[in-house]
Amino acid sequence: MSKFLLSSLTVAVLAGFSAQAQTAPAQPNDFIQVFAKLFGEHQGVRKGHAKGVCAVGDFTPSAAAAARFDAALFSSATVPVTYRFSMAGGNPNVPDYARSPRGLGAQFTLADGSKHNIATLTTPVFGAKNPENFLGLLKASVPGVDGKPDLAKIQAFRAAHPDTQPQAQWLAANPPPWSYATAEYFGIHTFYLADKSGEKAKIRWHLQPKDGVKGLTEAEIAQQNANFLDERLKQRLTDGAVEFDWIISFGEANDSDIDPSQQWPERPTLNAGTLRIKASGDASCSNINFDPNVMSRGFSASADPVLRMRSPAYAISFGKRLSGQ
Ligand code: HEM
């Protein structure tokens, strides 16, 4: 056998091996199953972000956004918005002082009846760069027969998958929000947005609270008050609307558009408008699936695999909870 043939065979065999050793692609239902193992089965509620509160209000685009972008959401006047503030995870009884992300979903209804959804977190990055590593981290966190998570196993997984570290580090370094109204909410993924010159801008964005960013103190966390966020929001709304600026950042060539575990460096921004929350505590969001891939004309999704995984996973959760499962 020639040397060349031998080395080609070696390469082919090794390639076969490494393909086998690769993690199998994560499936949407894998997440629903692992959430049930982590948080228990809770019928009729969201399998992620199980605890939350609905709110209603509107959105007014800025003149700068209307001038720059060719996007239905930014060219219309004020549109109505249904919101949901939430706690991450599938436990509907998780305490409000938990060191986990908070979420904000918003569904905009445009003048022609079309919908635009966003679903954001209070962390600037996500917990993994792709669905496989997120699933691996969740699986490593499932408690053993003694009912306790195996911390060494979780640590080993994080060490082997560095993309699962930045979100945990951010959560360790920043206190949980004092109120749903005093947190920044990040879109995290990269999106593309058509501008009036026919180009597509590569963007990320976050919502900046006009009430300012304020976290719980260590003493407040120690009080272990399990349910204050809904009431604090309701109380705050008696003084008038809660507002957030929608801040868009413009990515540069080297900024990843597929890795939600990496934060972009500081980039030029544009204030695209004001989200306003006027009342909370009704049932307006119960039957909404805040699938972030439902977008109005002008916006498009990046190839971020985590963003792609969200639609099918949310659809399964939505179907289950609407049918009482
Ligand atoms: C593979 C990654 C992810 C999976 C499998 C996942 C899964 C889920 C599921 C099953 C739900 C419940 C949906 C429903 O019943 O309506 C949910 C809700 C939510 N997720 Fe995710 N998620 C992922 C990534 C993300 C990311 C990257 C963000 C933020 C950028 C996010 C933010 C939210 C929010 C805010 C909600 C609550 C929406 C509401 O209030 O209805 N998720 N997630």
205: pLDDT strictly greater than 90: yes
314 alpha carbon to ligand 1 midpoint, in Å? 7
5: pLDDT strictly greater than 70: no
Please give the pLDDT value at position 76.
Answer: 84
**Mean per-residue pLDDT of the chain:** 94
Average pLDDT over residues 201-226: 98
Q: Please state, in angstroms and rounded to a whole number, the distance separating the CA atoms of residues 223 and 164.
A: 30
| CB of 264 closer than 6 angstroms to any ligand 1 atom | no
Q: Which of 32, 49, 207 to mutate to test the pocket of ligand 1 (most atoms within 8 A of CB)?
A: 49
Q: Please state, in angstroms and rounded to a whole number, the distance separating the CA atoms of residues 19 and 72.
A: 44
Average pLDDT over residues 175-197: 98
Q: Please state, in angstroms and rounded to a whole number, the distance separating the CA atoms of residues 257 and 248.
A: 14
Q: Predicted confidence band at 10 (pLDDT cuts at 50, 70, 90)?
A: very low
| CB of 47 closer than 6 angstroms to any ligand 1 atom | yes
Higher pLDDT, 21 or 127: 127
Q: pLDDT by residue (tens digit) across 15-52?
A: 444 444 568 999 999 999 999 999 999 999 999 999 99
* 140-147: long-range pairs with CB below 8 Å, 24+: 141/38, 142/34, 142/37, 142/38, 143/38
Question: Is the CB of residue 222 less than 8 Å from the CB of residue 179?
Answer: no
CA atoms within 13 A on the CB side of 311: 10
Q: Please state, in angstroms and rounded to a whole number, the distance separating the CA atoms of residues 148 and 38.
A: 11
198 alpha carbon to ligand 1 midpoint, in Å? 32
SS3 call for 37: helix
Average pLDDT over residues 130-144: 98
Please give the pLDDT value at position 23.
Answer: 83
| CB of 244 closer than 6 angstroms to any ligand 1 atom | no
H or E, element range at 248: strand 242-250
125: pLDDT strictly greater than 80: yes
H or E, element range at 316: helix 305-322
- Per residue, the 3-state secondary structure of 122-183, as one string, reads CCCCCCCCCHHHHHHHHHHHCCCCCCCCCHHHHHHHHHHCHHHCHHHHHHHHCCCECCHHHC
In the annotation, is 161 catalytic? no
Which residue among 42, 49, 161, 189 is the active-site one? 49
Please give the pLDDT value at position 20.
Answer: 42
| CB of 306 closer than 6 angstroms to any ligand 1 atom | yes
Question: Is the CB of residue 66 less than 8 Å from the CB of residue 196?
Answer: no
Q: pLDDT by residue (tens digit) across 42-82?
A: 999 999 999 999 999 999 999 999 999 999 999 989 999 99
Q: pLDDT by residue (tens digit) across 264-316?
A: 999 999 999 999 999 999 999 999 999 999 999 999 999 999 999 999 999 99
In degrees, rounded to 5, the angle at the alpha carbon of residue 174 between the alpha carbons of residues 260 and 41 is: 65
240: pLDDT strictly greater than 50: yes
Structural domains in the chain, CATH included, are 25-322 (2.40.180.10)
